[in-house]
Amino acid sequence: ATYFLLSPEHPLVEEIIKDSPYKDEVKNFKEKVSKESAIDRVSGILEKKGCFTGEYVINPLNDEEIPIWLANYVLMDYGTGAVMAVPAHDQRDFEFAKKYNLPIRIVIQPEGKKITSDNMEAAFDEEGIMVNSGQFNGLPSSKSLDIIIDYLMKKGSGGREVNYRLRDWLISRQRYWGAPIPMIYCADCGMVPVPESDLPVVLPEDVDFRPKGMSPLASSKEFANTICPKCGKEAKRETDTMDTFVCSSWYYLRFCSPKTDTAPFDAEELKYWMPVDQYIGGVEHAILHLLYSRFFTKALYDMGFVNFKEPFKRLFTQGMVCKDGAAMSKSKGNIVNPGKIFSKFGIDATRVMMLFAGPPEVDMEWTDKGMEGASRFLNRVWRLIYNNIDYFKKPKNKEEVSPEDISVDAKKIRQKTHQTIKKVTEDIEERFHFNTAISAIMELVNEVYKFQIEAEEKQGKEGDIFVLKEALEMIVRLLGPIAPHFSEELWQEMGNKESIYPLPWPKYDKKMLEEEEKLIIVQVNGKLRGKLTVPASYGDDKIKEEALSLPKIQEKIKAKKIIKIIVVSGKLVNIVIK
């Protein structure tokens, strides 16, 4: 932990700020937070806000003094209303630390990799190995929790406690748009449910929507006045409607059998379609909608209506689009008029900019410079295709080309093309990282630009033209889901009569990924003394032989005794001499 957070409502706050020079700032902050709803404060939608109290606490694990801050996302009714902030590994703490320039200390490193606070775009919240943690260094993070709690218990500084996040859900709303609550109020019988034979209760159409301090449904006398199904006397319907979250909690079940008219869903169809393989949604729904969906599914499972406990196998939450450091909002006035952007740059350039801006799971900061860059990239691709459009007017002679018909440079382009197909496919299908997929396409475009000039100088060798056309076709096809209108138009201009979209996704050839040559770094006593390029098939003995034959190396080792020759991963040779 690098700082300590308290809920603004915490009873200790008044005591802490009694003699603090930050007293007025804290009181103003508490006043502002009091106007924010608890739901908004924990939903991830609201901007993270905080206030320094001027006081410090001691971290019981390392006796380090850390500052006490108030934060709007810490609630008094959850846990103790106090949080030891670990910004490197909690996204909310990470955003808070970034905003207020608080230290970010990494205490969990991913296995086989190294992250630093300088290059982090988001908190690392996966499992890894403990670092910067004193006696707990080297432990798997999954096992360290119990060990650390045991340590704190022995020390008398902490213990175990389970906190439940469940809250009562008030589902009634004084709105027209929502499912009517099927209850009737009778003076004699009390609250009586609408008989199953009269379900569903349908919304009336003769409703006055003007504000009157009551639910809009109450303005429809025909709807509000009814007969008690129990005693037959005059009664009143419930005029509140259900929160629309109720409907969105099970819509995916209805989607599986939308034409079923005798039940909400067909259980047999659910066995085939459910659970959902991949759910993609905004972070603003991660707490409420998805939580309610799980409640509904688990209740239906317990009642025997469905054969699965969880509605969604995988969840991916997108970040928010921000401007001027906050999520875009009409109330804040920090919005971008899409019509003007489309008119100036086009829809596809806008798509490229937004997808290229960063990983989709983190918030994206809108910049007009980003739009200019995306537009330049698409224009560059357009020129590249049109510079070589004549090649596509000639009939295709071959479906494949033999290695003997391809120059060395063309082989490198072909390898780069298939490496790009692999990279883009994996980034989109496995990680949804369109930003790195676009970056890979940009790299291929750069390489093809260099190659096409050389190809022209060679006056169009047939094998090289085949490779060039393949690379250009792949660029357009890989851009298909990213810049669809742009790609489709180029595809037609390249002489294709059919649309690009019914085509199967490009597949890479594993053989094309293999390097034909590899670069070897040659060192003498750990210092760089030379480089050589050898066939990729060369083993360690052959690499040693080639390294020793280099004139510069022979000069360095002349009259010296070779102690040993180390070959590292077939990429580096270190000759140790005395």
Domains of the chain and CATH, by start: 3-155 (3.90.740.10), 172-242 (no CATH), 245-317 (no CATH), 388-512 (1.10.730.10), 516-577 (3.10.20.590)
**What local confidence, expressed as pLDDT, does residue 438 receive?**
96
Is residue 530 within 8 A of residue 439, CB to CB? The reply is no
The confidence band for 87, taking pLDDT boundaries of 50, 70 and 90, is very high
Mean of the pLDDT values across residues 247-264?
Answer: 93
Percent of the chain with pLDDT over 70: 96
> Does pTM top 0.85 for this prediction?
no
Mean pLDDT for the stretch of residues 74-96: 90
Identify whether the C-beta of residue 50 lies closer than 8 Å to the C-beta of residue 67: no
Residue 13: pLDDT above 60?
A: yes
- DSSP state at residue 496: -
Please state the rounded mean pLDDT for residues 445-464.
74
Distance between terminal CA atoms of the chain? 50
pLDDT in tens, 461-517: 778 888 999 999 999 999 999 999 999 999 999 999 899 999 999 999 888 777 777
| 336 — pLDDT class (breaks 50, 70, 90) | confident
pLDDT, mean of residues 7-15: 94
Q: Quick one: which of 255, 265, 279, 222 has its CA closest to 432?
A: 279
H helices, E strands: number in the chain: 21, 21
> Which phi and psi angles does 308 have, rounded to 5°?
-140, 150
Please state whether the peptide bond connecting residue 200 to the residue before it is cis, i.e. omega within 30 degrees of 0.
yes
Q: What are the pLDDT digits (tens) for 256-281? A: 999 998 899 999 999 999 999 999 88
| Mean of per-residue pLDDT scores for the chain | 89
Q: Is the pLDDT of residue 330 over 80?
A: no
Q: What is the pLDDT of residue 398?
A: 62
Amino acid at 210: R
- Count the neighbouring beta carbons within 10 Å of the beta carbon of residue 64: 13
Q: Is the pLDDT score of 569 beyond 80? A: no
C-alpha to C-alpha distance for 341 and 374, rounded to whole angstroms: 12
pLDDT tens per residue, range 388-405: 988 887 766 566 677 667
Query: How confident is the model at residue 94, as a pLDDT?
Result: 94
Q: Which two tokens stand for residue 375?
A: 């537009």
> 288: helix, coil or strand?
helix
Phi/psi of residue 7, nearest 5 degrees: -70, 140
The span from the CA of 301 to the CA of 245, in Å, is 19
* Interatomic CA distance for residues 360 and 462, integer angstroms: 42
What does the DSSP 8-state code read for residue 276? B
Report the pLDDT value the prediction gives residue 208, as an integer from 0 to 100: 84
Cβ partners under 8 Å of residue 241, min gap 6? 172, 173, 175, 176, 177, 178, 179, 180, 181, 203, 215, 217
pLDDT score of 155: 87
Pair of tokens at residue 365: 């900061």
More confident residue, 398 or 185: 185
pLDDT of residue 22: 93
For 350-380, how does the pLDDT look when each residue is reduced to its tens digit (9 = 90+)?
A: 999 999 988 888 888 888 888 999 999 999 9
Tell me, what's the pLDDT at 156? 87
CA proximity to 465, closest of 388, 383, 399: 388
Q: Looking at residue 396, what is its pLDDT? A: 62
The residue to which tokens 């590292």 are assigned: 568
Record the tokens describing residue 64, joined without a space. Answer: 């380090």
pLDDT greater than 60 at residue 454? no
| C-alpha–C-alpha distance, residues 373 and 352, integer Å | 9
Q: What is the pLDDT of residues 27-71, one digit of tens each?
A: 999 999 998 888 778 766 678 999 999 999 999 888 899 999 999
pLDDT band for position 459 (50/70/90)? low
**CB of 531 within 8 A of CB of 521?**
yes
Gap between the Cα atoms of 119 and 320, Å rounded: 20
Report whether 46 contacts 9 (CB < 8 A): no
Question: How large is the angle between the packed helices 408-426 and 462-478, nearest 10 degrees?
Answer: 20
